Amino acid sequence: MKNIRKRRKKREDQARRPVLNRDAEMTLISPHDDAELDFFKKRALSSAVVLIFFFAVLVSRLWYLQIQQGDKYRQLADSNRVRYVEVVPPRGNIFDRNGRAIVTNRPSFNVVMSRENSGLNDELLKKMASILGEDVSVLLARIRKMAGTPGHIPIRLAEDIDWDKVAFIENNRLELPGIRIEVVPRRIYHYGNLASHVIGYLGEINERELKASAAGVYRGGDLVGKMGLERLLEKDLRGEKGREYMEVNSLGFEQKYLKGVEPLPGDDLKLTINMDLQRVAEDIMAAQDKAGAVVAVEVNSGRLLVAASAPALKLDEFVGGISYKAWQALLDNPRHPLINKVVQGQYPPGSTYKLVTALAGLAAGVITPDTVFYCPGYYRLGNRTFHCWKHAGHGAVNLIQALAQSCDVYFYHVGQLLGVDRLALYAEKLGFGRKTGVEMQGEKSGLVPTAAWKMRRYNRPWQEGETLTVAIGQGFDLVTPLQLCMMTATIANGGTLYKPGLVESIRDPSGRLVAQFEPHISGRLTGQSANLKLIREGMIEAVNSRHGTGRAARLKGITVAGKTGTAQVVRLRQFRHMREVDVPYKYRDHAWFTCFAPAENPEIAVTVLVEHGMHGGSAAAPVARAVLQAYFKDRLKKTGNPALVMSSGRGGRSRAD
């Protein structure tokens, strides 16, 4: 028990024992030491803050790179091993009204080089120049041309190479890093140059077009429509590009196909054009080396059957890019092949305008069906004399006779009674002086002169003598062949003016109908049925009577109604006594003929312009006859009508129609 108490006391004493020995020396911390201790504490704290800050920056940067910008840097990493190329879609096909292919596509092979080509050097360029049969300087020029375009766009070294070159390049790929074959569609023209101004052509996109296009739609070197429907309906025809993604190694060689997006072909067009009739029109114009236009429309719908401009373009010259020499030849050609004369050619209408003057005179009441004027071969207005084309005169003629024989003096009388402004009013009702709205590029409006127009244009008052020249289609009058054909169709169908139609329908690659075009009425001549019937009778006489000026258009078994016209190009006294064939080509008169058939139940209207053809009856009417014969060939077979015999010209006029 005693021992237990001793041990307990010992433990208590130890618990109360001071930490320091009472006899030990004590060391006090000075103020200096205390400050130094605080300094080290603060320094340690600052270091910790800096470390924490840098660690936070590192974490946030890693978060930014991997989370915020992860996709971007993954793409950059992939770009070192993945290359994508755009796949050009086939353009839409173009068919005629009967479903016959006018323009389709074929595969062609281009040689392209990737921009990332690490193996590009003089040796590679020399190899490619040798393979392609080109100078190195030519290839360098093509490479420099692509400077400034996006890096993923390959450099096109050659286009449409033959199969032997394709095989050689593919068999030697290991020696040609970054070089590959690109398969692209190329246009095929199944009817050669027929309807060339309607179809148009393709060309390489220029800088202005590239800037104006939506982002990503085109790239440098793409082919786009430059003229005709190829340009007007570019958005429908072009399709949508596809993509192919390929894995490449460090040398630029393609290793394997990764994935792709198929290109979407363009939409197909079905036209109203009948290529059989188009061929007849263009062949006869070309065979006689004629410049001008031939237009044919359905009388009761306005659908175009023929839209021929001569001379035609050589469409194959534009495939792959036309040469400077060939382009300059087109620009210098005096027959202007680059102009679509159907809608861009503006000409005085000559005596075909007498149809307008006749309708205006009847509608305004200044003449009646029985009105007769005497033609002595001239007409006097003050101290001026206006001559008839027939110097001996036509004698006393009524309206039908005046139309049939194209008497100038008769229509001088009508024009003076009307005045230019009333004449202009009816010309505008028949569609002159404004665009028709047809699906053709660059259509012109023509010109219907008025007194106010002359004052605005020339700051001079209208002269009464100018009304006389306008009344017979000379002077300031300007029309396009299409406008004249639509007027003829309006007379034929009883007074309905249609908007001419060229595109029947648009379908997507699956055949689904995208757009269907129906006949559109632009205007009506109300209350003119009797007057139009009278004019039709005059046109029938012009073709079928003994003294008619349009006899060269006559068909056995089909009654044709028409009107000839000769438009003065320039009035020069030095040519007055020359034979017409001796007058320089550019000064010769233009020849017109416009008609419809069958006269009893009209179906088709045809208008022909022959530039510098001199006489409508001899130069233009036979062309119209050929088109009509092709249109009615099945019906003519039943009547036993012989093959087309070209007019000798004896049925034409001596100096006018």
Q: Are 504 and 271 in contact (CB under 8 A)?
A: yes
Tokens (6 digits) for 29: 């911390």
The DSSP annotation for 230-248 comes to: HHHTHHHHS-B-EEEEEEE
Tokens (6 digits) for 184: 């692209």
Residue type, 488: T
Sign of CA dihedral 271, 273, 279, 283: negative
Q: Are 132 and 165 in contact (CB under 8 A)?
A: yes
Closest CA to 637 of 540, 556, 551, 561: 556
- DSSP alpha helix (H) spans, 396-527: 399-405, 408-418, 420-429, 451-458, 464-471, 481-493
Q: Are 181 and 163 in contact (CB under 8 A)?
A: no
Give yes or no: 351 in active site.
yes
Q: Are 606 and 274 in contact (CB under 8 A)?
A: no
Q: Are 196 and 125 in contact (CB under 8 A)?
A: no
Distance, in Å, from the CA atom of 405 to the CA atom of 148, rounded to the nearest integer, reads 68
Going by the DSSP 8-state scheme, the letter that residue 377 receives in this structure is S
Distance, in Å, from the CA atom of 616 to the CA atom of 565, rounded to the nearest integer, reads 5
Tokens (6 digits) for 39: 């300094």
Distance, in Å, from the CA atom of 381 to the CA atom of 387, rounded to the nearest integer, reads 11
Of 114, 351, 406, 618, the catalytic one is 351
Going by the DSSP 8-state scheme, the letter that residue 579 receives in this structure is -
Residues 6+ apart with CB under 8 A from 30: none
Q: Are 480 and 342 in contact (CB under 8 A)?
A: yes
What amino acid positions are annotated as catalytic residues? 351
